[in-house]
Amino acid sequence: MKGKSLLSIDPYRIFNIKPKQFESLALEVFQYQQNHNPIYKAFVEALGIDDRLVQSLNEIPLMPVEFFKNFEIKTGKFTPEITFLSSGTTGMSRSKHLIKDVHFYKASFLGCFEHFFGQIDDFLILAFLPNYIEQGHSSLVHMMSEMINQSKNSDSGFYDHKENKWMDVLDRNSGHKKILIFGVSFALLDISENLNKQINSNIILMETGGMKGRRKEIVREELHEKLKESFGLKNICSEYGMTEIMSQAYSKGDGIFNCAPWMKVLTKSITDPFENQFGNRGKIGIIDLANIHSCSFIQTHDLGKVHPSGRFEIIGRADNSDLRGCNLMY
How would you label 87-123 residue by residue, b for 16+ Cβ within 10 Å and e otherwise? bbeeeeebbbbbbbbeebbbbbbbbbbbeebeebeeb
Burial class from Cβ neighbours inside 10 Å (0-12, 13-18, 19+) for residue 163 reads exposed
- Read off the pLDDT of each residue in 181-198 and give the average, rounded to a whole number: 88
Q: CA-CA distance, 108 to 115, in Å (whole number)?
A: 10
Whether residue 190 contacts residue 166, with contact meaning beta carbons closer than 8 Å, is answered with no
Question: Which domains are assigned to the chain?
Answer: 13-91+256-317 (2.30.38.10), 103-251 (3.40.50.980)
Q: What is the pLDDT of residues 78-94, one digit of tens each?
A: 999 999 999 866 567 89
Q: CA-CA distance, 280 to 232, in Å (whole number)?
A: 34
pLDDT at 269: 85
% pLDDT > 90, the chain: 71
For residue 320, pLDDT over 80 is answered with no
pLDDT at 131: 79
Winning range, highest mean pLDDT, from 3-17, 210-224, 304-318: 304-318
- H or E stretch at 206: strand 203-207
Please enumerate in sequence order all residues whose Cβ is within 8 A of that of 72, keeping only pairs 6 or more positions apart, or say none. Answer: 39, 96, 98
Smallest CA-to-CA distance from 272 within 264, 280, 283 is with: 283
Q: What is the pLDDT of residues 43-77, one digit of tens each?
A: 999 999 999 999 999 999 999 999 999 999 999 99
How would you label 213-249 residue by residue, b for 16+ Cβ within 10 Å and e otherwise? eeeebbebeebbebbbebbebeebbbbbbbbbbbbbb
For residue 3, pLDDT over 80 is answered with no
What does pTM read for this prediction? Answer: 0.91
Rg (CA), the chain: 20
Whether residue 207 contacts residue 223, with contact meaning beta carbons closer than 8 Å, is answered with yes
Q: CA-CA distance, 152 to 249, in Å (whole number)?
A: 24
pLDDT at 77: 95
What does pLDDT average to over the chain?
89
For residue 307, pLDDT over 50 is answered with yes
pLDDT at 148: 97
- Read off the pLDDT of each residue in 121-142 and give the average, rounded to a whole number: 91
Whether residue 141 contacts residue 168, with contact meaning beta carbons closer than 8 Å, is answered with no
Range in 110-114, 168-172, 216-220, 227-231 with the lowest mean pLDDT: 216-220
pLDDT at 1: 42
Q: CA-CA distance, 286 to 150, in Å (whole number)?
A: 28
For residue 21, pLDDT over 70 is answered with yes
pLDDT at 39: 98
For residue 319, pLDDT over 70 is answered with no
Q: CA-CA distance, 63 to 76, in Å (whole number)?
A: 17
pLDDT at 323: 44
For residue 5, pLDDT over 60 is answered with no
Whether residue 302 contacts residue 288, with contact meaning beta carbons closer than 8 Å, is answered with no
Q: CA-CA distance, 136 to 165, in Å (whole number)?
A: 23
Fill in the amino acid letter for 162. K
